[in-house]
A and B are shown apart, each in its own frame.
Chain A
Amino acid sequence: MRQLGRLGLAAAACLLGANVALADTTVKWLYIEENPAQVKIWEEVARAYESSHPGVKIAMQFLENEAYKAKLPTILQSKDRPNIIYSWAGGVLKAQIDAGVLEDITDQVKGYSDSLAPAALAAFTDNGRVYGLPAALSQVGFLCNKELMAKANVDPAGIKSWDDLLSAVKMLKAAGVTPIVVGGADKWPLHFYWTHLAVRIGGKAAFDAALRGEDGGFAGETFQKSGELFKQLVDLQPFQNGFLGFKNPQAVGYFGDGKAAMTLAISIVYHLQRALAADKVGLSEDKICWFDFPSVAGGKGAPTDTLGGITGWLITKGSPKESVDFLKYFISKDVQARLAAGNFLIPVVKGADVGLNNSFMKLIAANLAKSNYHQNFYDQSLGPSVGRVVNDVSAEIAGGSMSPQDAASAIEAARKQGN
């Protein structure tokens, strides 16, 4: 009799356990994407995954770019942290790996990872272990407004050297056009100028040497020269009024509203400016032009060198295995081809670039493919602390409150202090 009772209890326990196992797993997905059109596609992908995988819910949470960077360290320490987070790889990723807050997913992506472009996957691998997956590539360069450039008789294709750029700025100013719009309040849009100059002046060799502390580290000649050339541009007052108060979304909207001739931005802005313009239409394809960052006379960098991002998603420690599963689903040939077709990104999955149907996107993809040295954004590749110093000093040079020499020394000092 007692045996039966115990059996009954055991059966009940099994049933309960089974019920618990059938309960929903939630995968928390934290993103910073501001383009609602792209977010819409992501949501559709999430819903599609949910319907084909009953018992799994994908919960999406948005945080604005700068707020995300500021809060991420505290978010990662919470036991309720999101499972999938956005990443620009680089030193920040390394710091996160060292801190042990990420999940090692090498085994879970075996086989799958072969479908990804090797350089992209390498950005998310450390010591042979994979911690996340790349999702997009991008390049930093000059987007321009054809009409405004024509108004000042400036030919974008003719801007090949730094001096060409400076003359273009002067001509635009003379024609009463705001030459460049930049989101100075967020600081990182300004650091593009400084770092791209460094890429042109010293190339890969200089960056690697600086990381090792050779040649004076980041206080060395290459980086001082970057600051000086950047200052040359700043002294021409090329930016829009109040640029230090413009957050990046505002600046992108400004460009989309057709109020400035050029902006040095990530290639995704091509599409993003449409969503952020005041009329939600922005500049149409035939009104936008692009030119690569100009070269510097006597610079050791190759003209094919690119500055840009390899961005993707990381899995945080302790996340349910459904997170990795969903991520693989999200970064798959079909979804990537779909997003590429929408001109939202340059895909990383091999073969997905057939989706690119736009000449601009194809141009960027080709640039990236040609490049032997793709420098990740300094403020991410140098790690959380040093990276932010690069942003700070770029903003200070732009604001006229710091000399190029001091800027370079400050970065070197931060590098020595370590993260």
Chain B
Amino acid sequence: MSSANTARTPFEPAMLFKAVFLAAIAILVLVPLLATVLGGFKSLGELRVNPFGLPRHWEWQNYADILFSGRYWQLLRNSLIISTLTVTMTLIVAAMAAFTFAHVKFFGSSMLLSYLTLGLLFPAATAVLPLFIKVRDLGLLDTYFGVALPQVAFSLAMSVLLLRRFFKDLPYELLEAALVDGCSYIKFFRYVTLPLSRPILATVGTITFVNSWNAYLLPLVMLNTDALYPWPLGIMVYQGEYSSEWHLILAFITLTILPTIILFLLAQKHIVAGLTAGAVKG
């Protein structure tokens, strides 16, 4: 663990092995990704003979065609709308519930908490058929809410647990003092708890956003008009249309994962902390 501190000779065989191993894994991770990005710059024929290397001739047209078509931006816009709806609703609803669980002692609170925890145990996929029927009966099929509401419901369990833990960890004296001063619970929630909870809200928001942004099954079942498709559905339709024209498909894939990668590079620490904290605390 602390080998960095002790003096060692430059070429430790263990170090060499470690370097080679890490390099190998790095290559295995990078190659598919790079091939995808570069593939979009090649023509189909060149892709077949030169899949790994830099394009001999940079076909900007593939990327340009996609960027200039309305389709790509429509897909991103739909994804953004659905994900934003999901995150907003999740944060509001979960924060309110978590606050109640954290500070209000009432009969049945632990039972209700266990009830919510059930949601962690099984995936949305198991109930997707009845969910479809229900969304249809509510008239929400082919609407953004038809996708967002179930997503919110399924992320409640994790979100409430995380938020509740954080709320409880806040100094209790604050609440005591506020109540003594005659401040209502609700005011306290709005003016004290929420502002202090920025980190955890950001964490929960990030997890929820990434899960919703990448979601495929739920939108696949609930949405049928391509004008509403988020990018995971859009990319599959594109692939169905251009089946063997890999250079086009790879360009499309690159452009659709680009937002995720940019977001990741900008908010690395946050995303990692969020996704792993969710796991560790859960």
Contacts and interface: CB of A to CB of B under 8 A. Distances in A.
Is there any pair of Cβ atoms, one from A and one from B, under 8 angstroms apart in the complex?
yes
A74 B241 contact: no
Contacts of A21: none
Given A75-B224, A80-B224, A63 B142 contact: no
Contacts of B237: 62-64, 67
Interface string A243-262: 00001011001000000000
A71 B225 CA distance: 11
A196 B225 CA distance: 36
* Number of chain A interface residues as a range: 20 to 34
Given A77-B136, A78-B141, A249 B226 contact: no
Interface residues of B, number: 17
Given A67-B236, A278-B44, A78 B241 contact: no
A153 interface: no
Contact of B221 (A67, A74, A79, A278): A74
A306 to B, nearest CB: 28
Contacts of A419: none
B244 A78 contact: no
Contacts of A80: 141-142, 224-225
A61 interface: yes
Contact of A79 (B141, B226, B240): B141
A250 B240 CA distance: 11
B50 interface: no
Contacts of B123: none
A78 B44 contact: no
A81 B44 CA distance: 36
A390 B240 CA distance: 23
A250 B243 contact: yes
Given A63-B237, A67-B237, A78-B136, A249 B243 contact: yes
A78 B225 CA distance: 9
Nearest to A61: B226
Contact of B224 (A34, A81, A250, A253): A81
B240 A67 contact: yes
Interface of B: 44-45, 132, 136, 139, 141-142, 221, 224-226, 236-237, 240-241, 243-244
Interface of A: 34, 61-64, 66-67, 71, 74-75, 77-81, 247, 249-250, 253, 276, 278
Given A64-B240, A75-B224, A80-B225, 4 more contacts: A63-B226, A71-B224, A80-B141, A278-B45
